[in-house]
Structure 1
Amino acid sequence: MARSPLWLFLCPACDTGIVFGKTLHSIDCPLCQYRTRYPSAELFGSAEWDRGRSPEYLHGCLTALDRAPTSRQRRLLYTAVARTEFDWCRDQWFQLAIEVAEQWADTDRPPFGVDDIVRSLPRPVPRISSASWDAQQVAANCLNIAPSISAVRFGGFRPATQHAFADAYRELFPNPFVPLEWNPNWHTTTVRDLARHIYSAREFGTMPILADALQDAGGEDECILGHCRANTPHVRGCWVLDALLGKS
């Protein structure tokens, strides 16, 4: 059964999502304890998840549903934006930062030399709200993820970069309002091997072939197959690949 829309309020201090169904005089954020007087919630559901361009609300929805991104997912969220929004081939340090961040996400350990990479990222920081500023912040943030903090901040980014973050959330997380049907029988050797190859080789253009393999194994969930066949960029952390490979 599909989940009903939420009356969602975002903590102005940390963007944690809070759900309440009646008028309140004040509310305390469960994460940072910031108190908001006379909070105003907005209706947020399946349609808002699919079409929303504000990453704050997608993040807030996940935290409100106790599905806050893990440190691995937050790191891959930044690398997803880096690979889809910016041309990293023009700067070897930016490219190396993204590759190292993805390696860090997979091993859960900082790779050797990561401090040197952070120090080598270009300085000084360019003007805020420029493409260069966004690129530097994304590159630096993917290497500076604190495991104890679940927030992802988007202040200062241009609208285009914020939209890229929203799309990245939809790549890394399925629509939480739509029930998914996963069946262990779909995890055939062919499906697992193909998913593993796509992930390790970054051959995301073959995701439609993965959809065909899932169908051959009996999989008919429209959301899963639709995500594999969607004409949108896929990256490390894709929620279908993660589910098939047991990653979180």
Structure 2
Amino acid sequence: MSQQQFDEHTWCSTTESNPMLDDLAAATKGQLEPRKLRLFYCAVCRDIWHLLKDERFHQAVDIAERYADGLATPAELARAAKAASAAAKPLLKVPDMYAAHAVCDATVDDRTMSTCTWPWSMTPSQHAASTKKAAAKANEAYFAATNPRKAAFLRCIYGNPYRPANIGQSCQTPPIIALAQQAYDSRALPGFELNPEIMNQLVDALEKAGANPESILHVRGPGPHARGCWVVDELLGRPVNLAPQAKITQPDVEAKPIIESGNEFSPCQIIEEESGDYQLLFCEFESTSKTFEQLGYDGGGYGWHGVVDALVRWKLPKLKKKIDFDPEASLFVAFSPDKEVLRQVATLIRIACQDEAFLREAIGRAHRELMD
């Protein structure tokens, strides 16, 4: 995406929101879809609601959210922006000043929003350079406390732009869409996140409908979940692309895909056999060996066969009969006549490699199945 040293792993793990925004802007050549970006800033504002003591800020965020969903006019947004600006100007101390700036960013016009140029936003280093030492420390403390949440909101709203996921047509049913709308409309205090009880109902419905692993893991995950959540947006038929009416080219992904037949640098390989069936190969065990050792489990091919079998039973039970394993192999090998089935299994492996808590749960399930 961007020309910086930024890749899929960095996007999925960083706690710095500014490089993520830069990456999104570079990927879309400064033409981000304004609705999702506005909802990101609204989520940031909701997350620091207690710092927004002036009622004008609350009203401005409400209008910005309504505008994002087509329920407020450009004139209403402009008035909200003017009121927020007036309320923000007297605030010169951290953290109130930064909280106010977030509201001002949320209420800019669509053109400014889509180009990622926010007049009120400054990086920590810019603020530190323009303030006294004591204030600079307060700046750094504020950004250290809020940046991880901002990064999490960006991942909630944009998903993984290096590997966009599609939930699947089987999930586009009236009951699931109704749950998604209910989740979008109903939020929980104190952070105004999407209602966790409804999100739990939604993930159960998605799992039963055979949704892809990424969407299930995202909705089931700890969040934060905000309006604009990529899973909920897709179910509701709202814009999910990074730019309107444009397919983003991602050269980094095409050059170094995680799943590609014959790519020896990939964690997984899918190879077509002469018979027309497919093999899934995985042998990059070093990065996860410590976790296996801590739990007293073999971290090689044999151990991974047990773990993947448990993962499939857990996350993709409908696919269990479509996959065969070779548990005696020194590397992980799975077979299927359906390439898409193996792609979904490879996705589970990739997630397990990146998320230690997820891997530990899978190892635990594999242990329990061996004991049964």
1:189-228 superposed matches below 5 A? 189-202=174-187, 203-205=194-196, 206-219=198-211, 221-228=212-219
Offset at residue 190 of structure 1 (A): 1.0
RMSD: 2.6
Q: Which residue of 1 aligns with 2:61?
A: 98
- Aligned-residue sequence identity (percent) comes to 25
Task: Provide the C-alpha distance between the structure 2 equivalents of 1:53 and 1:146, rounded to a whole number of angstroms.
Answer: 27
Partners in 1 of 2:109 and 2:75 — Cα distance? 16
| Structure with greater helix percent | 2
**Contact in 1 for aligned 2:8/2:160 (Cα 8 Å):** yes
Aligned residue among 27, 44, 47 for 2:9:
47
Is the Cα–Cα contact under 8 Å of residues 125 and 136 in structure 1 kept in the other structure? no
Aligned letter for 1:247? Answer: R
Whether 2:28 is the aligned partner of 1:66: answer yes
Larger Rg: 2
Q: In the alignment, is residue 155 of structure 1 matched against residue 122 of structure 2?
A: yes
Aligned: 1:126 with 2:111: no
| Mapped partners of 1:65, 1:192: distance in 2 | 30
Equivalent pair of 1:195/1:210 in contact (CA under 8 Å): yes
Deviation, structure 1 residue 169? 0.9
Give me the whole-angstrom Cα distance separating, in 2, the residues matched to 1:152 and 1:207. Answer: 33
> Which residue in 2 is equivalent to 1:231?
222
Please give the TM-score of this superposition, normalised by the length of structure 2.
0.50
Cα deviation for residue 61 of structure 1 reads 2.6
- Which blocks of at least 5 consecutive residues in structure 2 are unaligned? 125-141, 188-193, 240-372
1:146, distance to aligned residue in structure 2 (A): 3.6
Q: Is 1:110 matched with 2:101?
A: no
Show structure 1 runs of 5+ residues with no match.
Answer: 1-5, 7-16, 19-40
TM-score by length of 1: 0.73
Whether the aligned pair in 2 keeps the contact of 1:101 and 1:143 (CA below 8 Å) is yes
SS at the partner of 1:107?
coil
Give the aligned partner of residue 135 of structure 1.
99
User: Residue 63 and residue 229 in structure 1: after superposition, are their counterparts in 2 closer, same or farther (change >3 A)?
Assistant: same
Give the count of matched residue pairs: 208
CA gap 1:132/1:77 in 2 versus in 1, 3 angstroms: same
User: Alpha carbons of 1:152 and 1:172: their partners in 2 closer, same or farther (altered >3 Å)?
Assistant: farther
Per-residue displacement from partner, 1:172-210 (whole Å, max 9, x unpaired)?
A: 111123352431121111110100111123352121211
Contact 1:198–1:204 (8 Å) recurs in 2: yes
Structure of greater relative contact order (alpha carbons < 8 Å, 6+ residues apart): 1
Distance 1:177 1:112, change over 3 A: closer
The residue type equivalent to 2:200 in the other structure is: P
CA distance in 2 between counterparts of 1:145 and 1:166 reads 23
Deviation at 1:213, TM superposition (A): 0.5
Partners of 1:89 and 1:60 lie apart in 2 by 26
Displacement of 1:47 in angstroms is: 1.9
In 2, are the aligned partners of 1:187 and 1:244 still within 8 Å (CA)? Answer: yes
Counterparts of 1:231 and 1:152 in 2: how far apart (Å)? 31
2:44 paired residue number: 81
